[in-house]
Every structure is written in C-alpha cells, then in structure tokens.
Structure 1
Amino acid sequence: MDNSQNTIISSLNFPDGFQEIETNISGYKRHMILASALKMGLFDHLEEKGVLTREEIVTSLPMCGMLSRSYLNALVSMNLLIEGGDKYQNSRISQNFLTKKSPYYQGDLILGNSKSGSRWDLLSEAMQSSDGMAKTPGPGPSLDHLNTLAQRVIQGEAQALTTWISDLPGFSGMRKMLDIGGGHGLYTIGICQINPDMKGVILDQPHVTDLTKQYIQKYEMENRILSKPGDIRTEAYKPEYDIILISHLLYKFRNDLDEIFRLVSGGLTENGILVSNHWFCSPGCLPSQDPVNELERSLQSAGHPLCHPEHFAELFEKYGLSCIRTGTIETANGTSMLHAAQKGKL
C-alpha cells in the first residue's frame, strides 16, 4: 500500500522527464489511428474515389461524424492524407504503402504489430519464458504473421536475395529448386520469374500451404510452383534439386544443424547449391545501435540469431559441400548473411 494519504496534493511538484514517456505513448496513439484507418478501408476508398469532402467520407464509410474532423486532420498531420478546402485525398506515402492494389502494400505488417497473438502482443510472455518464445495456439506461425513477413521482405530483402541467387554459377541452367520453410513463397516466386525454366517446390507446415498457394496464384505461378506440406527433419530428400534454399528457419534448430545439413544435402543434384539466408550475431555478441530492432530480430529468430558462421563451412565440408560464395544483404531487421555451398566441388 502506498503512502498517498500523507501527500499534500497542492505541494506536489511534478518532476521533468515524463515528456519522454509521453512521446512513446503518442507513438502508440498514432499507430492506433493508422490501424483504424486501415481497418475501415479509408485509404482504399480514397484511392478508388479520389478527392472527397469530409461529409462524403463520413456518409460513405462507417465513420463517426463528431470525431471525423480531428481524426482526418490527425492523418493529415501524419502525412498520410492531403487536405485542401475541407477535401481529402491520399498522400503519395498512402498510395504506395497503404492501398491494397499497390505492390508495396504494408497494411498487414502494420496491423500485425498490434494484433492479438502477435509477437509484440505476447512480449510479456516471451520475456518471462526460458527460451524467448511465447506459447501460441496452433502448430506454428499464424497466417497473419506470415502475411506480415511477406510484406516485410518486399521492403528489399526478397529483391536482394533473388538477385544474389541469380548470380550464382550455372543459375541459368538450373531447372528445379526447393524452398524449405518458404511460407509466403516470395523468394521462390522471384527466382522463377528470373529463370523462366525453373520450377519450384515450397515445403512448409500443413497449415501454411493454403496461404502459400494464394501467393502462387497471385503471381500466376500455379504451373511452375508447388506448395507441399512437410518438415525439414522428416522430409524424404531425393537428389533432384539444383537449388535448396533455407531462409530464417534454422534459428529454432540451432542445436540440430549437423543433422539438418546431413538430411538436406541429400536433396541436391550433383553440382546443386544449398543457399542459407540467416541473421548472425555480431562478433562477441556486441549490442546493436538500434536495440528495438535488435529485440524484434531476436523475437523473429527464436530468441537469438545464429552464432559462429564459420561452423557452417565445417558442416558443408562434412556432408560433401563446398562453400563457393558468401555475402550479406540488408533486411528490415538488420544485415543477413548468405552462404552458397555446392555439392561435389570439394
């Protein structure tokens, strides 16, 4: 029990410093304003109709008239709407990132941050766990989470990774690839777009395959890409793939890498290439200059990025692979390290 009964309110001198906390609270309020606009379809509606008055917006959307002026002007202050003469239209930022017709749409990512069951929503549970992972219902990542990841990689990672792979030796002659834990499938889709003779198989948990098929259909790749239920540890690998891609999956198997590489190497053709795309902690596990981003990366990587990239080279060699190329690409959550290891090149 506090001792507030002994406090004289009129003598309280509220200390400086709360403004820093208020700034964080304001950020949350702005997020909720943006999220509500996405949920009611405001940006899509304006993109379809063009310039609308406040009254036209209120009557055509489920929007409270009494709150509409301050609400819309708040979106103007956030540079998401443009206002002139009490008429409103989307800003360029909203056109690019907040309308569903845009290839750069980020709405699911924005809504996913605050959605019930998201990694941020379950942060308290994760912080009190032993492994940094909050317990979630269902067999694995939610479909909302996978949609969020799809929009995040479109910020640049998917473009950088597919371009890097297309520059590997012999790429133009490759005909079949396997994407293990590929989820949204955008990496395989991008690679097949670059190589018109490539066919792909995306292996993921059974509850994910329907979502993967939606992305395959969206990019009209049904005749070239198959979404297949399976598990990296139990798949019956046959030497049929010219490329096997594993991207941001091995964090939760960090103690089983030897067995994982043994199994996966059996799926490569002679001269086939295994490509790994993962975050590694900095030498000495030094802290990042952006601790919030570092925390998000940890939440995405089963508590911690991988360590000791040199261990990959040892495992490659152990199972008949030779590391022919390494590199880095920038992702929304920091620098990711790439390894390409070829079978039969020892």
Structure 2
Amino acid sequence: MRKLPDIDLESSSIYEILSGRIKARVLLTGIELGVFDHLSAPRSGPEIAQELETHPGSTEAMLDSLACLGLIEKNNGLYRNTTEAEISLCQKSPAYVGEMVGMIYRMSSGALQDMTTLVKSGPPPGSPDMGDQAIWADYARSMANYQLGGPARKLAGLISKIQGFSSFERMLDLGGGSGMLCIAVLAQHPTMRGVVFDQPSVVKMTESFIAEYEMQDRMSVMGGDYTSDSLGEGYDLVLASATLNFVGDDLGPLMRKIHQTLKPGGVFVSLAEGITHEHTRPPGMILENLTHALYGQVKMFEKGEIARAMDQAGFSPIESRTVPTPFCPIEMDVGRKSG
C-alpha cells in the first residue's frame, strides 16, 4: 500500500494570491454600478438592488464580498460605507478614485489575459504607446483625485519644511500632470509662483485645475518635452514627482539640466519609487509595474539611484527619506545647488 506523504502545510499564500483577481473585479464592479454612492447611510440589500435595478441575490452576494474586503460594513443586515470608501469611492467626494482604479485595471487587462505568452515571447510589436499624450492626459486627470485624498497635502507639508522655503519665489513642477501637487505646495507659501511643465495635451487639462482652484495669478503652464526643450531658469525649487522614469537609465543629462535651471542655493526634490530587495519590494510598486515591464516600457529606480545621480550632477548636500503613501512607500530625495 502506498503511504500518504508526510506533509503538514497548515497555511499557504497560494490561495490568498489566487483570490486577488476576484478582489479586484469585485471592487471594479462596485465602482461601475455606483454601489458606494448609495451607502452613505445604512441600507439593506433589497433596497440597494431596487435602486440599482440589479438581481437581489447577486447584489447581496457582491455586497457581502465588499464587506469581506473591508470596503463596506454590514451590521444587522444593513450595509454602509467605511470611512475609506466614503472618501475614495463616492463620486461626490473630491478624492474619488474610481476613474483611476478603472483606468489602471484597463491598462493592465491585456497583459493579464496573455501574460504567459508575453513572458515566453517578450514584448510584442506594436505594444501600447506609453508616449501617447491622450493616455497621459486622462491618467493625470484621474490621478488628481488620488492626490486630493491626502498625498498632495502631506508631500507639500514635507516640502514646506525644507530650509529656505519661506524665501522661495519660483518653482517648476516637472511632469506635473494636473498640477495638484504644485497647487498644494503653493498653498504652503504666501507668494511663491509655480510653473507646471508637461506634454502639450496634458497642460491643457492642467489649466482647468488651475482655474478651479483660482490660482491663475500664481501659476502658469509650459507644454513640451522636458528632455529636449528649455525648462526656463531662475527657479528656487524644481519638483519631479513620479516622472523621471521616462528618462530611462541615463539620468545624467536631465540632472545637469535641472541643476542649471536653479538659482544658487535652489533645491531639487524628486519623489519616486525606491525598489529594494533585488527588485522584489515594495510589493505594490513591483506588481503595478509588471504590465509595463512585460511590454518593455518600464524603468523603476532602485533606492538611492536618484540620489547618486543628483550627486554626480553637482547637488550637495543631498537628503533622502522614505515617505509612506496610500499606494506604497516612495523615496523623497532633496538636493541643493551650492550657492
């Protein structure tokens, strides 16, 4: 008689990982149906199904799954948003991220469906064009609400504590997208003016946010390619948030260019990922960028890589710190041009 193997595996991460695709799909279904807009106050499953015009049994199963994920609460048969869902998943909230979640899901769907082929054969010809301005205009618009959920104000608060900040007169937000981070930084200063530099189609969208926050007298935009076009000069602060990836492996020319745009004593602040553990951490950043990696479109920075490039360009001193965000930890590198 063949003996059973002497194995006692009490727990396994495999099955938890397998449920990940279901978790993402449940969240997206809730967003697509507008479920969270109906749960600011306690409601029953049948009430929600009636309002959404959905199947009662299937609706309750989905609501139970959302409660399992910790996005809504269930108490005595009534469902209600958690604080996180109320802030981030209700369309009336200024920090609504439903559009961003949907866009990230759609951008990754092709790679998820055919990942085995991509791993076997490498990036296919005609991979999605990540230089498409329309894509990045939509992405920057969707990211604005994420920034409003706390990151913009938190990062701006850290920037405002940089030595000499109170005397700054002009800042450049490089690849600034919607301009929300620039707006948040300027809100920490009574008089400083800001310029948002991004692709031409993106800065058209940026102007709408500038108008919405009534910052026309303190903010302007520049459209172009920051790797080849002039950035202007005489800045006290240059900020680059999650944008240096487009430069690729050779940061040197751009770092020297940024150094030249600054006044003596001016400061360059980079906010970017800091990959560790031989490119396996932090998990959120590694997994989020897998799609781009499979299409051969990603450059992720190791922790300390940007700081080293700053040093080689002449910045000194350089200070680095890890900053927690709702998505994943990021690295904040601050370099000063000697005065």
The one of 271, 275, 286 equivalent to 2:278 is 286
CA contact (8 A) 1:313 1:322 kept: yes
Letter in 2 for 1:32: R
Give, in whole Å, the separation in 1 of the partners of 2:130 and 2:247. 20
The letter of the residue matching 1:296 is: E
Report if aligned partners of 1:38, 1:98 keep a CA contact under 8 Å in 2: yes
Query: Could you say which residue in structure 1 is the equivalent of 2:298?
Result: 302
Q: Match of 1:57?
A: 48
In the TM superposition, 1:216-295 aligns within 5 A as: 216-282=210-276, 286-288=278-280, 290-291=282-283, 293-295=285-287
For the structure 1 residues 175 and 100, does the alpha-carbon distance in structure 2 shift closer, same or farther, using more than 3 Å as the test?
Answer: farther
Distance in 2 of aligned mates of 1:241 and 1:95: 39
Shift of 1:144: 4.3
Computed over aligned residues only, the root mean square deviation of the Cα atoms, in angstroms, reads 3.6
Match of 1:311 among 304, 309, 312: 309
> Deviation of residue 183 (structure 1)?
1.0
Match of 1:202 among 183, 196, 199: 196
Larger radius of gyration: 1
Q: Which residue matches 2:30?
A: 37
Q: Which amino acid aligns with 1:46?
A: L
Correspondence 1:176 to 2:158: no
Aligned-pair identity in percent equals 25
2:128 to 126, 135, 147: 135
In structure 2, what residue type is equivalent to 1:122? A
**Matched residues in 2 for 1:98 and 1:45: separation?**
11
Measured at CA, do residues 58 and 234 of structure 1 come closer, stay the same or move farther in structure 2, by a change above 3 Å? same
1:74 is matched with 65
| Kept in 2: contact 1:246–1:277 (CA 8 A) | yes
Which consecutive residues of structure 1, in runs of 5 or more, have no partner in the other structure?
1-15
Specify whether residues 77 and 227 from structure 1 end up closer, same or farther in structure 2 by C-alpha distance, changes over 3 A only: same
The separation in 2 between residues aligned to 1:121 and 1:258, in whole angstroms, is 34
Specify every segment of 5 or more residues in structure 2 that has no aligned partner in the other structure, as ranges.
1-7
TM superposition shift of 1:326: 3.9
**Matches of 2:266 and 2:284 in 1, distance apart?**
38
Aligned 8 A contact 2:94 2:145 in 1 = no
1:122 to 1:202, Cα distance in 2 relative to 1, 3 A: farther
Q: Does 1:338 align with 2:336?
A: no
- The answer to whether the 8 Å contact 2:275/2:281 transfers is no
Which secondary structure does the structure 2 equivalent of 1:194 belong to? coil
- Contact kept? 2:73, 2:80, Cα under 8 Å: yes
Aligned to 1:309, what secondary structure does the other structure show? helix
Judged with a 3 Å threshold, the aligned counterparts in structure 2 of structure 1 residues 160 and 27 are, in CA distance, closer, same or farther, namely same
Q: 1:287, CA displacement in angstroms?
A: 4.4
TM-score normalised by length of structure 2: 0.77
Give the AA of the match of 1:96: I
Q: Give the CA deviation at 1:208.
A: 1.4
Deviation at 1:236, TM superposition (A): 2.5
